[in-house]
Structure 1
Amino acid sequence: MSKDLLFEIGLEEIPARFIRAAMEQLQDRTSKWLESSRITHSGVTAYATPRRLAVLVKDVAEKQVDISEEVKGPSRKIAKDASGEWSKAALGFARSQGVSPDDFTFKELAGVEYIYATRSSAGVETSSLLSEGLTGIVSAMTFPKNMRWGAYDFKFVRPIRWLVALFGKEIIDLEITGVTAGNVSRGHRFLGAEAEITEPALYVEVMRAQHVLVDVQERQELILGGINKLAEEKNWTIAIKEDLLEEVLFLVETPTVLFGTFDPAFLNIPQDVLITSMREHQRYFPVFDAAGKLLPFFVTVRNGNAQSLDVIARGNEKVLRARLSDAKFFYEEDQKLQIKDALAKLENIVYHEELGSIGDKVRRIRKIADRLAEKLGLPTAVASEVSRTADICKFDLVTQMVYEFPELQGTMGEDYARKAGEPENVAKAIFEHYQPRFAGEAVPTTAAGYVVSLADKIDSIVGCFSIGIIPTGSQDPYALRRQAAGIVQIVLEHKLPINLQEIFAAAIEVHENSKNSKHFSDELRISLYEFFGLRVKRLLSDNVRYDVVDAVIAAGYDNVVDVVARSRALMDAVSNQEDFKITVDSFNRVSNLAAKATVGIIEPTLLTEEAEVKLYETWQTLHTPYAQALTARNAEEALHILSGLKETVTGFFDSVMVMAEDEQIRANRLALLAGIDADCKAFADFGKLVW
């Protein structure tokens, strides 16, 4: 026999950004508790709105599953003493399993006899476990921020105001912070009322009657349907940003889509400013025409029904008008600020107490960028653009617009720089030097943009490492992982002829010569390199087998373009497993013996066997073109050349005794293998491949 289980936690409004994770956590903890409690069921469905978290479990067994299992104890030799009586060890095992020693059985395992106890446990009624189980689930839940209320020590995301706990039609006897569970939930704050839920299966429909759509997917489809219908009717393109949709989804219990308008005169403000103001402050969806031009309309979602939408629209329009008026004022005032005056103000903004002001950071960025531009061999005109971009890349941080909308840093810098008469590439690079801001975002397209972006990011990373701010676990307050990934992405996508160590060296030199000078120990340099290694490894892992990633990383990752090329070539090779496995086996045999080499000089006159002479000559023939292919980043060709050693290596091992009695001959053969192994290791550690 089975019954459905419903558990709803009624709360004060939860921050929208917390709700999905909380809903999934409640679902996961409920599933795991049922499993650990040996209670079978047909599945756990989670629901959530701004005022509730709930789970509905179908077909919950009315009784735990009975268990009967054999538990292995000590060996017979330990279990019985010299007189044949049960030892203390055996008696202790019997007590721990709740059985009598007379019930022991003996079984042989790997030639040794052990005692076994059969432990049985009859399942208890599910109803007797639910109160403690559900209370434990709630107590174990965690959130980014918690609250306490009243005189209770209990912490939760928001104060609990009601509880619904039903097993079939029976109310589960539980109480949390003075709130006793019942079968009465609460509907929409303004449109609904309290509602009795007579059985769990009716939960969704009972709440719908009270103007609450508890099903998250249903609410999302209703919102998207309303937006798409409006777009079709008006011939609009309504931009739906995923994070905004997610937030709106968890701000409403009964969603109704509506639109409003604003004064077209505001369209003289840059489009990004208007969009940011609508999205970030008002949670509105911006509207565009077919050409992607912003229109003087917005779309929003009401937490309620379709009554008096015109009144609601006018209220939203009034609020937006005030927001846009502020933005217009900030925009006009900012244009009165000269770039040189803005740069002077950067001296008064602390970047970090140990790393100086933003002004100090800008000067470091300029010096690093100039070094990188020289290393990349950029033309003089482009190098000048790099220098100017670096000098003014942060000037918009002191503008009123960026103060109000921090996410517009770079965007406003580009606009203001262009209006101030800066070269187009410089203005564009001010925006681009923040890219990529997150995984998947485009990298800078201009040389000034990507060089200053590299300089800015490596300055932050090296600076933080120099003062001991190194990401550990989930702690990364300065987003150094994201910035390191950005550097790797820029180098790869532009195929820049520069190594990671060269980028590090430029930043380290500047930091060591700055007024906030820090000494970089060898250990810190190694930590920096390993930190980037994890970013390269994550980049490769998106499309490459884990063992191939480990193999190519072991050969070095200083050149990002090179390691990606090697990983792709090796992936292609291992797809032809049978043929390439023989090649890899031969390389691994070479590596195993090469580890015993004590000298690195090969004396050709000591090569006496035909097979070793042939191996030496083949290697000498292939070594130069192989090295040239590696230098040219032609990984596929390099691997093809290296694989040409397979036949002669196999012939060598078939007919030559490497560990000869003659010490000179043995050392010479090992030196030959060590040279070949060094070539192999320059491409990958083939021993890490898994077949």
Structure 2
Amino acid sequence: MAQDVLIEIGLEELPARFIDDAEAQFLDKTIKWLDEQRISYASAISFSTPRRLAVLIEEVAESQASIEEEAKGPALKIAKDGQDNWTKAAEGFTRGQGKTTDDIYIKEVKGTSYIYVKKYIEGKSVQSLLPEFKDIIESITFGKNMRWANETLRYARPIRWLAALYGNEVIPFEIAHVKTSNFTYGHRFLSGKLTIDEPKQYEQLLNDNYVIADAKKREAKIVKQLGALQEKNEFQIPVDKDLLNEVRNLVEYPTAFVGSFSTSFLALPNEVLITSMAEHQRYFPVEQGGELLPKFVGVRNGDDYELETVIRGNEKVLRARLADAEFFFEEDKKLSIDFFQEKLTRVIFQEKLGTYTEKVNRVKTIAKHLAEELSLKELKEVVRAAEISKFDLMTNMVNEFTELQGVMGEKYATYFGEAKEVSQAIREHYLPKQSHGELPATTVGAVLSIADKIDTIAGCISVGLIPSGSQDPYGLRRQAMGILRILKDQNWDLTIESLIEYTLSVLENAGLTINASSNDDLLAFFASRAEYLMREENIETDIIHAVVDNQLGIFHVAVEKAHVLAEKKADDHFKTSQEALVRVLNLENKVEDTDYKVNPNLFQTESEKELHESVAAVKSTYAEYLEAQKSEEALQLLADLAGDIHAFFDHNMIMDDNEEVRKNRLSIIHELSVLILQYADLRKIAWKQHA
């Protein structure tokens, strides 16, 4: 008879940022285990709160599915001796499978005969397998782990209880000296220890004891409460999705409330108010007609008992924080940009890369160079923005509210009389803040963002600080993706190779020691980020490598080429052209003397002459198309050579015995290969086998 299964991990409060991923892992690992163990079930659902992760599996079979499977043994020539008798290898194989040599049969695989037996594997009882959930629980990973007491297990937070039920029976296992039971716990302050009589009772039992175990239902309850408060108070609550997600993972039983603060604090920049509320206190700001009100909405973990007391407590905490912000804001305005700039000289950016002032000087050099290379009219603004790009890091406000770096730089730069383009660039040069976040809107901000990021990336990688696995303390992957996205967004004709080369020269001129492999390391690093971004545009990996492996070049052009090749890969009409061009590239490695010039006097066939003349005729136009970034037209020029290429191969022995003739024909191949490889290495594409 099918039974329901419940597994719950009870924990000290998990950090909100860990919960969603841990819940997903628990469910995914559970489903994978059930499938691997051949255990049938009706459904599997997961639950999570700050204090628990759980899975409920409904209608789990009593036993594994029994199977008959084929076991492959050694090759027949090993399994039998010269007298056609079974060898010890054959006997050992069958014995290991619980069979005899009488059960052997023979099958041929890729031209070789092997011995096989069929074996029947009877399914075990599910109840005997369920203690293996211990391994699933221990395999869940978190962004940061800890040990507690004398335990060896590393986990996000200490495990306090384990509920594990198969029907109404406890599944026996133990983790970190915590044994499984049929007990769980309701809300920390509003309930206590609870007995689970059967798995299906779990969610309702918790709900009756002030725990909404389903995260989506908890979120829906918060959204409904926010809507009710908006309607009642006639204001708007702009709900940030990330904040909502975090709040739902901070509470087990949400109750929303409205608090207020003094209108005098509205004189602070909105970003300061919102950061104080949302980032520090997890409150939702409140607006009316697009303007901030001196109010906030918080979410309590519990019911509405003594809610007024809770509101007053939250108001007191926020008032203290805003008072600090007000003081810092006024104090900073009494100083000057030069004052903060001088303080930067004594602050280390990175031990091997020097102070922030030294970094700013490098960024200024790079930014000025980029502006000149791109012939930007905003050169003066770029240089000034770079000069003062980090001054706000030394302000009291940013020291207290680190999330506001750049934001306060813009506010203070404006206050101190800097041009709008300069002030805005100080904020924008930190963009994008996430891999797919907002990009700089202005030209000055975009240039400064690239200069700052490439200095950090090249500097860190040059001194050996290369990201590995999940470790990327300086956010180099995100910053590299930011550079590529900005270059593509701005449509700038700036190659990654030239950007890396110039930045390394700036680092060397600044007296930094650069690893010999830095250039290659940086090219590989950017290529991997480019591949990631291009895959997100549904470009296949083989096409990406064909385009970027030889040279990453101008990123937006590389992306365009990849899209063109993706279309051609699926186009039956391109097959003849593709075969011709790949045929050429396949002989490129036979060319020994790349400096040898084609000698028309050595031509022996008309096809040699025609291909040579056709290549010469398209060279100039092909170069113009590449320069004008007409990727489709450039590829079509090469494709139009297909007839001459096939004729050349069909009517000539390329590797002729006569050395001069051979070199001459290979030189034609080389000339054409150079053109093709300027576009992409078509050999790396897994071309479709068209009918």
TM-score (norm 1): 0.93
User: How far is the alpha carbon of 1:307 from its aligned partner?
Assistant: 4.0
2:28 maps to what in 1? 28
Worse-matched range after superposition: 262-271 or 72-81: 72-81
| Gapped regions of structure 1 (runs ≥ 5) | none
Are the aligned partners of 1:42 and 1:58 in contact in 2 as well (CA < 8 Å)? yes
Are the aligned partners of 2:76 and 2:115 in contact in 1 as well (CA < 8 Å)? yes
Question: Aligned partners of 1:335 and 1:295: how far apart in 2?
Answer: 24
> Secondary structure of the residue that 1:40 maps to in structure 2?
coil
Worse-matched range after superposition: 544-553 or 454-463: 544-553
Are the aligned partners of 2:371 and 2:379 in contact in 1 as well (CA < 8 Å)? yes
User: How far is the alpha carbon of 1:671 from its aligned partner?
Assistant: 1.4
1:456 to 434, 452, 456: 452
1:678 maps to what in 2? 674
CA 1:510–1:293: 2 relative to 1, 3 Å: same
Are the aligned partners of 2:586 and 2:683 in contact in 1 as well (CA < 8 Å)? no
Are the aligned partners of 1:163 and 1:179 in contact in 2 as well (CA < 8 Å)? yes
1:643 maps to what in 2? 639
CA 1:611–1:426: 2 relative to 1, 3 Å: same
1:606 maps to what in 2? 602
1:374 maps to what in 2? 372
Are the aligned partners of 2:527 and 2:549 in contact in 1 as well (CA < 8 Å)? no
Matched, 1:481 2:480: no
Tell me the number of residue pairs that the alignment of Structure 1 and Structure 2 aligns.
Answer: 684
> Secondary structure of the residue that 1:295 maps to in structure 2?
strand
Worse-matched range after superposition: 675-684 or 553-562: 553-562
Question: Aligned partners of 1:514 and 1:17: how far apart in 2?
Answer: 40
Q: Which amino acid aligns with 2:118?
A: T
CA 1:590–1:107: 2 relative to 1, 3 Å: closer
Are the aligned partners of 1:597 and 1:670 in contact in 2 as well (CA < 8 Å)? yes
Matches within 5 A, 1:261-660: 261-290=260-289, 292-379=290-377, 382-515=378-511, 517-521=512-516, 523-543=517-537, 544-575=539-570, 577-599=571-593, 600-660=596-656
Q: Which amino acid aligns with 1:536?
A: A
User: How far is the alpha carbon of 1:377 from its aligned partner?
Assistant: 2.5
Worse-matched range after superposition: 112-121 or 477-486: 112-121
User: How far is the alpha carbon of 1:651 from its aligned partner?
Assistant: 3.4
> Secondary structure of the residue that 1:204 maps to in structure 2?
helix
CA 1:126–1:611: 2 relative to 1, 3 Å: same
Question: Aligned partners of 2:466 and 2:176: how far apart in 1?
Answer: 41
Matches within 5 A, 1:16-415: 16-81=16-81, 86-107=86-107, 114-131=114-131, 133-290=132-289, 292-379=290-377, 382-415=378-411
Question: Aligned partners of 1:135 and 1:440: how far apart in 2?
Answer: 37
Are the aligned partners of 1:555 and 1:683 in contact in 2 as well (CA < 8 Å)? no
Deviations 1:632-654 (A, max 9, x none): 22212212322221233233334
CA 1:42–1:648: 2 relative to 1, 3 Å: same
User: How far is the alpha carbon of 1:112 from its aligned partner?
Assistant: 5.5
CA 1:156–1:608: 2 relative to 1, 3 Å: closer
CA 1:413–1:302: 2 relative to 1, 3 Å: same
CA RMSD of aligned residues (A): 2.3
CA 1:632–1:307: 2 relative to 1, 3 Å: same
Worse-matched range after superposition: 624-633 or 111-120: 111-120
> Secondary structure of the residue that 2:40 maps to in structure 1?
coil
Question: Aligned partners of 1:332 and 1:422: how far apart in 2?
Answer: 19
> Secondary structure of the residue that 1:272 maps to in structure 2?
helix
Question: Aligned partners of 1:84 and 1:653: how far apart in 2?
Answer: 52
User: How far is the alpha carbon of 1:150 from its aligned partner?
Assistant: 4.1
Q: Which amino acid aligns with 1:285?
A: F
User: How far is the alpha carbon of 1:164 from its aligned partner?
Assistant: 1.9
User: How far is the alpha carbon of 1:393 from its aligned partner?
Assistant: 0.7
Question: Aligned partners of 2:229 and 2:437: how far apart in 1?
Answer: 30
TM-score (norm 2): 0.93
Question: Aligned partners of 1:564 and 1:10: how far apart in 2?
Answer: 48
Identity of aligned residues (%): 43
CA 1:117–1:608: 2 relative to 1, 3 Å: closer
> Secondary structure of the residue that 2:587 maps to in structure 1?
helix
Are the aligned partners of 1:351 and 1:361 in contact in 2 as well (CA < 8 Å)? yes
User: How far is the alpha carbon of 1:6 from its aligned partner?
Assistant: 0.9
User: How far is the alpha carbon of 1:404 from its aligned partner?
Assistant: 1.1
CA 1:43–1:361: 2 relative to 1, 3 Å: same
Q: Which amino acid aligns with 1:416?
A: Y
CA 1:653–1:104: 2 relative to 1, 3 Å: closer
User: How far is the alpha carbon of 1:548 from its aligned partner?
Assistant: 2.3
CA 1:442–1:114: 2 relative to 1, 3 Å: closer
Question: Aligned partners of 1:554 and 1:346: how far apart in 2?
Answer: 40
User: How far is the alpha carbon of 1:123 from its aligned partner?
Assistant: 2.2
User: How far is the alpha carbon of 1:608 from its aligned partner?
Assistant: 4.2
User: How far is the alpha carbon of 1:76 from its aligned partner?
Assistant: 4.3
Deviations 1:434-473 (A, max 9, x none): 1222222233233332222222111112211221112233
Q: Which amino acid aligns with 1:587?
A: L
CA 1:85–1:638: 2 relative to 1, 3 Å: closer
Q: Which portions of structure 1, spanning 4 or more consecutive aligned residues, are displaced by more than 6 angstroms?
A: none
User: How far is the alpha carbon of 1:111 from its aligned partner?
Assistant: 6.2
Deviations 1:539-598 (A, max 9, x none): 2222223232222214521222321232233334344x1111211111112222343234
Q: Which amino acid aligns with 2:139?
A: A
Question: Aligned partners of 1:492 and 1:110: how far apart in 2?
Answer: 49
> Secondary structure of the residue that 1:195 maps to in structure 2?
strand
CA 1:519–1:69: 2 relative to 1, 3 Å: closer
Question: Aligned partners of 2:416 and 2:632: how far apart in 1?
Answer: 50
Question: Aligned partners of 1:499 and 1:489: how far apart in 2?
Answer: 13
CA 1:336–1:688: 2 relative to 1, 3 Å: same
CA 1:572–1:235: 2 relative to 1, 3 Å: farther
> Secondary structure of the residue that 2:58 maps to in structure 1?
strand
